Amino acid sequence: MSDIIFHHYPVSPFSEKIRLIFGFKNLSWKSVMIPSIMPKPDVVALTGGYRRTPIMQIGADIYCDTALIADVLETLAPTPSLYPEPIAGLSKTLAHWADTTLFWTAIAYTFQPAAMSGILGDITPEQMKAFGADRAAMRANAPRMSLPEATGQLQEYLRRLDAMLAGGQAYLLGDQASIADFSVYHALWFIRRVPAVAGILDAHPLLLTWMDKIAAFGHGQFEKMRSAEAIELASTSTPAAVTSSFVDTHGIALGEQVTIMPNDYALDPVQGELVTCSANQLAVRRHDDRAGNVTVHFPRVGFQMKRVTPA
């Protein structure tokens, strides 16, 4: 199998979710550091427009969104499973809540004035301003939840999560870890790494002990790779053959030109020829001058696809 190449940056919570899954599954991977704000020319060369973090690359196949990345890793390394029976469906549903509602509540709580200097590491006021402008544009200036709302809602979520551990089980959904643990963890990790706000977790020692257990999975084995090298590797690789069966919900046939983009924020369309339209995945084939012929994959959940009508 070609190397797993992971494009990420250190303080990205969704990246931490996948780094820990590498540890959980004891995988080896190549680490490519990418910018946390636009422009990201090397990311866009691979994805065709998608700018969110992280992305995973295997040869000339690019995987967007951590829900899909987790599914791909599960196929590559089935044990230990992220979706153990009988909690497979429940774990995915809880993970989706954590990746959306819990994550944005944690972000709104953490980005409070008193914490600003500790969130993104050692950066200048100009860099902080550029970061704020980038994220406002990415979210089309949608207002962030106010601090009082975020505080109250986060406290309630923490009580609910704490209650899930009160029976003495090792993980959120029982004695086996699942995708739900990694999705809940990354949002709380973002809070815990900032001393000015981490205290909100102190009322929940069970959660802190559980967090230590998830952190102990580690990040697997990795080596650094330069992004130019990753692009070069894409250009000399051939995208994997499509094996999934076609599930039509759009009235769009395989081979048509489409755009695919998230349905919530960072609405950057990726255009290409539709090559996968399965029960839970979409993918387009596209050409890039630097990356060559690549297939860019997305999960169905959280994304929207449209036919490109010729002008």
Ligand X SMILES: N[C@@H](CCC(=O)N[C@@H](CS)C(=O)NCC(=O)O)C(=O)O
Half-sphere exposure of 308 (CA within 13 A, CB side): 17
| 53 near ligand X, judged by CB under 6 A | yes
Is-contact 178 84, C-beta < 8 A?
Answer: yes
- Residue identified by tokens 């899930």 is 164
Sheet harboring 61-64: ordered strands across?
A: 221-224, 28-33, 5-8, 55-58, 61-64, 292-299, 281-288, 270-277, 257-262, 303-307
**Cα gap 23→95, rounded to integer Å:** 18
Binding ligand X by CB under 6 A: which of 20, 21, 67, 98?
67
Binding ligand X by CB under 6 A: which of 31, 47, 57, 66?
66
Nearest distance in Å: CB 94, ligand X = 14
- Which of 103/217 has CB closer to ligand X? 103
Is-contact 189 197, C-beta < 8 A?
Answer: no
Total length of the chain: 311
**Cα gap 61→199, rounded to integer Å:** 41
- Count the neighbouring beta carbons within 10 Å of the beta carbon of residue 90: 15
Interacting residues with ligand X between 263 and 302 (CB under 6 A): 302
Q: Which stretch binds ligand X (CB under 6 A): 8-16, 237-245, 276-284, 303-311?
A: 8-16
Q: Which stretch binds ligand X (CB under 6 A): 47-55, 74-82, 191-199, 268-276?
A: 47-55
- Which of 189/292 has CB closer to ligand X? 189
| 12 near ligand X, judged by CB under 6 A | yes
| 49 near ligand X, judged by CB under 6 A | no
Is-contact 30 37, C-beta < 8 A?
Answer: no
Binding ligand X by CB under 6 A: which of 99, 110, 184, 295?
99
Nearest distance in Å: CB 99, ligand X = 5
| 57 near ligand X, judged by CB under 6 A | no
Interacting residues with ligand X between 110 and 149 (CB under 6 A): 138
- Which of 15/295 has CB closer to ligand X? 15
| 61 near ligand X, judged by CB under 6 A | no
Q: Which stretch binds ligand X (CB under 6 A): 65-73, 116-124, 174-182, 234-242?
A: 65-73
Binding ligand X by CB under 6 A: which of 4, 7, 13, 274?
13
- Count the neighbouring beta carbons within 10 Å of the beta carbon of residue 245: 9
- Residue identified by tokens 């084939």 is 285
Binding-site ranges for ligand X (CB under 6 A)? 12-14, 36, 51-53, 65-67, 99, 138, 302
